[in-house]
Amino acid sequence: MSRTKSHAILIVEDDEPLRFTLLHLFGADLEVTAVGTGEEALQAIKTLARIDLLLTDFDLRGNLDGLDVARAMKARDPKAPILVVTGSGRTLPRVQELLSIPNTVLIEKPFDPADLERAVCALLASGDGIGLR
């Protein structure tokens, strides 16, 4: 992967082993903040100085899901790319609503880490320099 830590991503994943896998996958090249709940994600969206990409699970434990997190991210930065991973499929109404948000991509679980890595790279490259600083 040819990225530098010039990009910052927020990872929201409630499955702890997967969250740490994602942190390991992207942490060497990107500035990564990883949280486990929608509530923690909303706090991070409010407080982090920079988020160039949101990578969130759709199905999160607690009261908030990936759609709620994506809406909060878009309220902060309407141009921010969002990458959603889900095991729920594409047909649920809330997933369909999520996919209607501009610059949002969905990858279904189980996924190949190389596919996820390519999607992150493509989204960051397409919006190079976007995100709040």
CATH number of domain containing 59: 3.40.50.2300
Instruction: Dump pLDDT digits (tens) for 92-113.
Output: 888 889 889 999 999 998 999 9
CA distance 105 to 25: 19
**Is residue 3 included in any domain, yes or no?**
no
CA distance 111 to 129: 27
For residue 52, what are the domain limits?
8-126
**How many distinct structural domains can be found in the chain?**
1
Q: What angle do CA 9, 10, 11 make, to 5 degrees?
A: 115
CA distance 46 to 106: 24
Instruction: Dump pLDDT digits (tens) for 4-40.
Output: 478 999 999 999 999 999 999 998 889 999 999 999 9
**Is residue 72 included in any domain, yes or no?**
yes
Q: Would you call 80 exposed, middle or buried from its count of C-beta atoms within 10 A (0-12, 13-18, 19+)? A: buried
**Is residue 132 included in any domain, yes or no?**
no
* Stated pTM of the model: 0.89
**Is residue 110 included in any domain, yes or no?**
yes
**Is residue 86 included in any domain, yes or no?**
yes
Structure tokens of 60? 């999160």
